[in-house]
Structure 1
């Protein structure tokens, strides 16, 4: 692969670029336009092409602050700045849809800063590399502070994420609950993109299974208690992984993106089709459309055998509720769906733009509790039910949580 590959293929939705750039300028968002307030992009970003430079400059400043605090002996403060830098560098590299010198610089800087996070973190974080199909797939193994073998949560991030973004090293939802956490860069994510590993229909689950085999050889991991946490588009990869690897004992799919991919690629932000043209290395739009046409999960979901949790917003534009409910009904394993009323994608997460959560806890610790219960042998209560959770309503674990599918039922 040359250092400066050809420009990405042209797509029909590129004709919407002027509207897309205006939305970015006005909202500070590249996708998920529904939440209130401005997104996380600096006000100086007025079009998509400016994101990498302006977010990257913020990352450079955070890295300098981290170095200064480390030199002063303020290790926890330094860790915070280095983590901020790693996140910003990872976010800055993501909009670059060719593997060029700028993308390599930004991605390499994210890993460099995360190496400092690992060095300063209060608990061990290992950068794990696993041989796969003549190349390498990688992830971070966050070890829980426990004695003896402990359960493992295999974390699959979304398609707009890398393994450097979650969890915060000082607030690890799995480790706090006595579980190791492995955050994976599979095909289509992070280091795989830089290694020119293309996204294929079935490659992700094979890479994940290979990584899981590598992890389960370790004496500090309990091979009989493996949970899967696959969020956003990661739930598409996660569903295929859970359906093909019987070692997974429980699976949680927050912000589930399991529906027809027409909604994501034709009705959501133009960014997604542009991104997947890069991830798949499609030669033209016809080839990309053929790939998308093969992404249905109708025959995959019935093959999942472990307890399964799906959560989604009532008005998630990529997951129309009626279609998501029909797919949920195809799961034959003990399963439950939580529908967060009036929410969209990325439901009930505390962010500056959404400081008041729609429910009383973030989905991540709640999801880890759900996995921990299943891996400890606690049976799923109310299997097969859809819990419809109104804003500021009851916990899904409350016996009075309503089991219904729509607001009018």
Structure 2
């Protein structure tokens, strides 16, 4: 499904295309938008995706006004996706006002979708350190939903996703199987980053704890059957969070991860003596060696535009040293609940999944994915059906 020769634009487009199986996008709308875009031109990208989003939103409004709620909600969901995809190239600080406006429109469209769902998705606001974290409780569907309190999945996000994209990845498969699903953006993620300027933190136990505190107060949530699922960088954050909360009954890390500095030592273009000294180095020592990374459009987006914004930092040297604070080695032994560690052979971020698996002192399962079994892509994005089948079958057994 290639729409662009530009690797970065293709990566962004795939974020929309992957949601097609959940109604988040349509091929025809994405392909038409792509034909109007000038390769490598961020302004052109933003203008054309927002144009498509506005058109689809207009269709949704027409159906809503005419009393056709199913057509309306389907179109509102797609419009939300297109507004989100529109602002990916604009990541970074200072925050582009176009990004802020598109994110606002994305939220509005998703809110209309949420209202029209059956049953409706319930907006939640989690108290958090003098402020709040926004999200949605997505109620279970089907006959199981009427059988008293339901097992509940708490979804943990990664770097550049948000609660709206997590709906497709986590809530849709969960609710169809009789689970409630709580979607919340933490610091450095989605609504919390764009709307409040809250940046990422390594001690995710202090983020997950108030989320769980709130989850157990929600109607219909079985407090004895809480599962936490992290995807992308959430594969690090979720285990870190669960290590500090014994109320969690099951954990999924997709992909399983480990101490972030270990990955960087292996990958970064640094002299060996400087690698050996990490993190005992100054940012100014690292920056000259890291500057060539920013010449790659993909790495510039991932590290400079996204990474520095998410962490609230000013240089790649600071970013590398900050990663030393992101550790699981000192808390993995505290995870006591049954844990599923996902390992995708095609995913660089899963390189240390087996390290996490070996370090766990709890009931544990290692599940492998790859292009060879039809589950390629970051977080099995091109076959979430197979991922959901294996993960939720496991959860059904663990939480039975």
TM over 0.5: yes
| Residue 375 in structure 1 maps to residue 376 in structure 2 | no
How big is the shift at 1:335?
Answer: 0.8
Selected match of 1:117 from 113, 120, 124: 113
CA change 1:127–1:137 in 2 (3 A) is same
| Contact in 2 for aligned 1:232/1:257 (Cα 8 Å) | no
| Residue 135 in structure 1 maps to residue 131 in structure 2 | yes
| Contact in 2 for aligned 1:310/1:336 (Cα 8 Å) | yes
How big is the shift at 1:158?
Answer: 2.7
CA change 1:184–1:88 in 2 (3 A) is same
CA change 1:309–1:169 in 2 (3 A) is closer
Cα deviation digits, residues 159-211 of structure 1 (max 9, x gap): 22110123349982212222110011111111101201111221x43122102
- Identify unmatched segments of 5+ residues in structure 1: 1-19, 351-356, 377-409
Give me the whole-angstrom Cα distance separating, in 1, the residues matched to 2:102 and 2:328: 34
1:233 matched residue in structure 2: 233
CA change 1:288–1:123 in 2 (3 A) is same
1:160 matched residue in structure 2: 160
| Residue 47 in structure 1 maps to residue 40 in structure 2 | yes
Matches within 5 A, 1:280-319: 280-319=311-350
Give me the whole-angstrom Cα distance separating, in 1, the residues matched to 2:73 and 2:151: 26
Give me the whole-angstrom Cα distance separating, in 2, the residues matched to 1:82 and 1:32: 19
- Identify unmatched segments of 5+ residues in structure 2: 18-26, 270-292
Q: How many residue pairs were aligned?
A: 342
1:364 matched residue in structure 2: 388
Give me the whole-angstrom Cα distance separating, in 2, the residues matched to 1:335 and 1:45: 48
SS of residue in 1 equivalent to 2:227: strand
Matches within 5 A, 1:364-403: 364-376=388-400
CA change 1:170–1:232 in 2 (3 A) is closer
| Residue 333 in structure 1 maps to residue 357 in structure 2 | no
SS of residue in 2 equivalent to 1:113: helix
How big is the shift at 1:231?
Answer: 1.1
Give me the whole-angstrom Cα distance separating, in 1, the residues matched to 2:113 and 2:267: 34
1:67 matched residue in structure 2: 61
Higher-helix-fraction structure: 2
How big is the shift at 1:23?
Answer: 2.6
Cα deviation digits, residues 221-279 of structure 1 (max 9, x gap): 11111011111211111011111111110011233344644278889941221212001
Question: TM-score, normalising length from structure 1?
Answer: 0.75
SS of residue in 2 equivalent to 1:364: helix
Cα deviation digits, residues 319-344 of structure 1 (max 9, x gap): 22xx3323321111111111224465
CA change 1:259–1:174 in 2 (3 A) is same
SS of residue in 2 equivalent to 1:164: helix
Selected match of 2:302 from 272, 283, 286: 272
Give me the whole-angstrom Cα distance separating, in 1, the residues matched to 2:157 and 2:181: 12
| Contact in 2 for aligned 1:121/1:169 (Cα 8 Å) | no
How big is the shift at 1:144?
Answer: 1.5
